[in-house]
Amino acid sequence: MIIRPMIRSFHSLFALRIIPARYESSVKEGVILQSTSNNVYENLAIEDWIHDQMNLENKNVLFIWRNAPAVVIGRHQNPWRECNLPLMRERGICLARRRSGGGTVYHDLGNINLTFFTSRKRYDRMKNLELVIRALKALQHQVDVQATSRFDLLLDKKFKISGTAAKLGRTVAYHHCTLLCSANSSLLPIVLQSPYHGIESNATPSVPSLVKNLSDADSSLNCESIMDVVASEYSAHYNNKPHVHLIDPKDESLFPGISQKKRDLCTWDWIYGKTPKFSLKTTFQILYRNSIVDIKLSMQIKNGYIEECSLEFPNYWLSKDLSNDLQSALVGCKFCPTETAFFIKYLVKDLSSR
Ligand SMILES: Nc1ncnc2c1ncn2[C@@H]1O[C@H](COP(=O)(O)OC(=O)CCCC[C@@H]2CCSS2)[C@@H](O)[C@H]1O
């Protein structure tokens, strides 16, 4: 039988200072927090806050959260190589860079995220995944879910339903994973396909897999029931009554400094600027006075800004001086392929007509 966890507001517990007194007394206790927000930056800010502010020497925390459509890249990844940014812009899908390493995943309300916070000493990804598997089996005992050596969860030995990443601090650690319940599985591979070619970089590449939703295996495996059963299993592990504390990541009184953490995660400098240095080599064509002109472009991009740029045109078409002017106009600009291509086409036409 599944015991539905009791859902409480976390606010009163903190206000009464019950949390520090009670939960810091024993490692045997696990606190379950569930976000009331579907904003990816707010939820990632909660992870940062817990990581930076909570003393996890004697307690563990499970944070349960879901986001509106978003693509979440790893700390050391290149967004231009990992996803379809123009399509995401068109569909209003957010891009977020998380603090943990690893590959790129797609989130929407059909995807659950689970963050297991512990002291660094107690960090154990396999134990957490085993807990998730026990929870899924409690809902549907025939479901075939197994953990792999790279900490993915596979359904029927073939389809990925969960990806893992982690952040190890000096004293605190967290392991977070996704769980695909009823996400938009036709949009997922399209959004994670970059339209750009010619990017060379040492950034962490993602490892694409065939994915499937748990609800396709059995309709009882929906987001609500899975969040409940994971919470119950987590509580059972600590012999606690299952209590899920609802938290609002906008609540500065509960999480002092959280708004700044969210702002940091939303900045261009974090999302794009943290991309490891990379180069782009490409060719493109522009139509000018009824003829097609081939242009070769080569760039070095550092911290998201164009550091070096070289453009090759047919000599008869644009003088060396004008071509140099164009290259230096691009150096120092933020790298944005759509804007950069537009800018080059516009300036090239302008310069060549002089
Ligand atoms: N939501 C989701 N769940 C599982 N697998 C996914 C998902 N989205 C995409 N994918 C598949 O995984 C690969 C990338 O696998 P790869 O192994 O490269 O990366 C990961 O798994 C990272 C997991 C990060 C989990 C964090 C938890 C909270 S915030 S994000 C991608 O190309 C798809 O094929």
pLDDT score at 21: 39
Provide, rounded to the nearest whole percent, the portion of the chain with pLDDT above 90: 76
Contacts of 158 (CB under 8 A, 6+ apart): 210
Most informative mutation of 162, 178, 226 for ligand 1 (most atoms within 8 A of CB): 178
Is the CATH number 3.40.50.1360 carried by domain 278-353? no
Ligand 1 centroid vs 253 CA: distance in angstroms?
A: 33
The ipTM assigned to this model is 1.00
Q: What is the mean pLDDT of residues 75-104?
A: 98
Contact 87, 69 (CB under 8 A): no
pLDDT score at 332: 95
State pLDDT tens for residues 221-265. 999 999 999 999 999 998 777 799 999 999 999 999 999 999 999
Please, what is the Cα angle at 209 between 207 and 212, to 5 degrees? 145
Decide: 179 in ligand 1 pocket, CB within 6 A: no
Residue 288 has pLDDT above 80, yes or no: no
Q: What is the mean pLDDT of residues 284-303?
A: 87
| Ordered DSSP codes for 196-265 | ---EEE-SPPP----B--HHHH-TT--HHHHHHHHHHHHHHHTT---EEEEE-TT-TTTSTTHHHHHHHH
Name the closest-CA residue to atom 15, ligand 1: 207
pLDDT band at 1 (very low <50, low <70, confident <90, very high): very low
Decide: 35 in ligand 1 pocket, CB within 6 A: no
Name the closest-CA residue to atom 2, ligand 1: 105
List every span in the chain annotated with CATH 3.30.390.50: 278-353
pLDDT band at 289 (very low <50, low <70, confident <90, very high): confident
CA 230, CA 115: separation in Å to the nearest integer? 12
State pLDDT tens for residues 134-171. 999 999 999 999 999 999 999 999 999 999 999 999 99
Q: What is the mean pLDDT of residues 180-184?
A: 98
Name the closest-CA residue to atom 9, ligand 1: 105
CA 301, CA 247: separation in Å to the nearest integer? 40
List every span in the chain annotated with CATH 3.30.930.10: 29-272
CA 161, CA 153: separation in Å to the nearest integer? 6
pLDDT score at 263: 98
Contact 280, 198 (CB under 8 A): yes
pLDDT score at 9: 53
According to DSSP, the residues that pair with 96 across neighbouring strands are: 72
Kindly state which CATH superfamily the domain 29-272 is placed in.
Bira Bifunctional Protein; Domain 2 (3.30.930.10)
Decide: 113 in ligand 1 pocket, CB within 6 A: yes
Q: What is the mean pLDDT of residues 163-191?
A: 97
Ligand 1 centroid vs 31 CA: distance in angstroms?
A: 25
Residue 338 has pLDDT above 90, yes or no: no
CA 71, CA 64: separation in Å to the nearest integer? 18
Residue 344 has pLDDT above 80, yes or no: no
Q: Which of 159, 156, 161, 133 is nearest to 144 (CA)?
A: 156
Q: What's the mean per-residue pLDDT of the chain?
A: 90
According to DSSP, the residues that pair with 272 across neighbouring strands are: none
Using left for φ > 0, alpha for ψ between -120 and 50, and beta otherwise, residue 289 falls in left
Q: What is the mean pLDDT of residues 183-200?
A: 96
Residue type, 203: A
State pLDDT tens for residues 3-52. 555 655 554 444 333 344 343 344 568 999 999 999 999 999 999 999 99
